[in-house]
Chains A and B, each alone.
Chain A
Amino acid sequence: MKKRVEYLITTGGLTVLYLVIMLLIVVGVLNGYYVGVIIAIGINIIVASSLNLATGFLGQLALGHAGFMAIGAYGAAHLGKYLMAVLVMPDFIKGIIVLVSCLLFGGILAAIAGLLIGIPSLRLRGDYLGIVTLGFGEIIRISIFNIEAIGGARTVLGIPKLVGITQIFILVAIVLAALYLLVRSRHGRAIISIREDEIAAEAVGVPTTFYKVYGFAISAFFAGIAGGTLAFYQGLIDPKKFTFMFSVEIFIIVVLGGMGSFTGTVIAAILLGVMNELLHAVDNWRMVIYAVVLIAMMIFRPKGLMGTYEFSLVKVVKDYIAKRKNQKTT
Chain B
Amino acid sequence: MSYFIQQIVYGLSAGSIYALIALGYTMVYGIVKLINFAHGEVLMMGAYFTIFGIISFNIPIILALPISMVLCALLGMFIDRVAYKPLRNAPRISALITALGVSMFLSNFFKLLFGAEKRKMPDFPALKGGYVFGDVTIPYKAILTLVLTLVCLITLQIIVRKTKVGRAMRAVSEDKQAAQLMGVNVDLTISITFAIGSALAAVGGVLYAINYSQIFPTMGTLTGLKAFVAAVLGGIGILPGAMFGGFLIGIVENLTKGYGAGGWSNAVVFGILIIVLLVKPEGIFGKNTREKV
Contact = CB atoms under 8 A, between A and B. Distances in A.
Interface residues on A, range: 35 or more
A302 B86 CA distance: 11
Contacts of B95: 298
Interface of A is mostly: helix
B104 A142 contact: no
Contact of A131 (B35, B83, B92, B278): B35
Contact of B93 (A61, A199, A287, A288): A61
Interface string A176-204: 00000000000000000000000100000
B83 A139 contact: no
A302 B109 contact: no
Contact of B112 (A128, A146, A285, A302): A285
Interface of B is mostly: helix
Nearest to B92: A127
Given A131-B232, A294-B100, A298-B87, A138 B267 contact: yes
Interface stretch (A16-24, A116-124, A234-242): A116-124
A51 to B, nearest CB: 13
Nearest to B276: A120
A287 B98 contact: no
B281 interface: yes
Contact of B90 (A251, A292, A302): A302
B214 interface: no
Given A248-B100, A291-B105, A299-B87, A120 B94 contact: no
Contact of A117 (B90, B269, B274, B291): B274
B96 interface: yes
Contacts of A143: 267
Contact of B101 (A123, A124, A127, A291): A291
Interface residues on B, range: 35 or more
A294 B293 CA distance: 31
A255 interface: yes
Contacts of A292: 101, 105
Given A132-B277, A284-B112, A295 B270 contact: no
A143 to B, nearest CB: 6
B229 interface: yes
Interface of B: 33, 35, 83, 86-87, 90-98, 100-102, 104-105, 108-109, 111-112, 221, 225, 228-229, 232, 263-264, 266-267, 269-271, 273-274, 277-278, 281, 291, 293
17 contacts: A128-B281, A131-B225, A131-B232, A132-B274, A135-B229, A135-B270, A138-B267, A139-B267, A244-B221, A251-B97, A288-B109, A291-B105, A295-B105, A298-B90, A298-B98, A299-B98, A302-B87
Interface of A: 55, 59, 61, 63, 117, 120-121, 123-128, 130-132, 134-136, 138-139, 142-143, 145-146, 199, 244, 248, 251, 255, 259, 284-285, 287-288, 290-292, 294-295, 298-299, 302
